[in-house]
């Protein structure tokens, strides 16, 4: 994802791993290629408008993200095949600018589990 314009440190290890996995599989799988293209396009949209995604209520932010990254806001971007990309907005301490920090790229099943949703 760094080659698409994100600065170092603006992607979590989980998101980097998911992106790398999509990148490796894209050559042989149309689904992964579509997902990879969608992630790249959404990254550009987020760079142009940091509030592009759907905000997630503060009370619904998984404790894992609060603890691990100290985030206070979370946005969701829907991707093809019911995948999701989550990001938070942070301030760069050395400059006055908003940085979109991509936390995770996951399929719908993992997203539901992370947010505690149950199947009906």
Does 120 map to a domain?
no
Model confidence, pTM? 0.79
Q: Which residues of the chain have pLDDT under 50?
A: 1-5, 8, 95-96
* Residues with Cβ within 8 Å of residue 117, at least 6 apart in sequence: 111
pLDDT tens string 49-60: 989 999 999 999
Does 109 map to a domain?
yes
Does 119 map to a domain?
no
Q: What is the pLDDT of residue 96?
A: 42
Does 18 map to a domain?
yes
CA 7 to chain centre: 14
Does 46 map to a domain?
yes
- The separation between the first and the last C-alpha atoms of the chain, rounded to the nearest angstrom, is 35
Q: What is the pLDDT of residue 25?
A: 92
Question: How many other CB atoms are there within 10 angstroms of residue 51's CB atom?
Answer: 12
Q: What is the pLDDT of residue 93?
A: 56
Q: What is the pLDDT of residue 114?
A: 83
Q: 3: which 2 tokens?
A: 């080659």
Is-contact 26 16, C-beta < 8 A? no
Q: What is the pLDDT of residue 45?
A: 92
CB burial readout 78-114, b (16+ within 10 A) else e: ebeeebbbbbbbbeeeeeeeebbbbbbbbeeeebeee
Does 83 map to a domain?
yes
Q: Which domain holds residue 13?
A: 2-114
Q: What is the pLDDT of residue 1?
A: 43
How many folded domains does the chain comprise?
1
């Amino acid at each position: 994802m760094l080659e698409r314009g994100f600065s170092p440190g603006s992607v979590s290890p989980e998101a980097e791993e998911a992106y790398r996995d999509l990148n490796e599989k894209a050559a042989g799988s149309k689904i992964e290629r579509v997902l990879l293209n969608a992630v790249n396009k959404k990254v550009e949209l987020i760079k142009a408008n940091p509030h592009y995604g759907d905000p997630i209520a503060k009370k619904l932010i998984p404790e894992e993200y609060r603890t691990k990254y100290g985030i206070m806001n979370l946005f969701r971007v829907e991707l093809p095949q019911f995948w999701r990309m989550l990001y938070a907005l942070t301030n760069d301490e050395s400059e006055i600018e908003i940085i979109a920090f991509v936390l995770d790229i996951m399929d719908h099943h993992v997203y539901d589990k992370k947010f505690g949703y149950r199947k009906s």
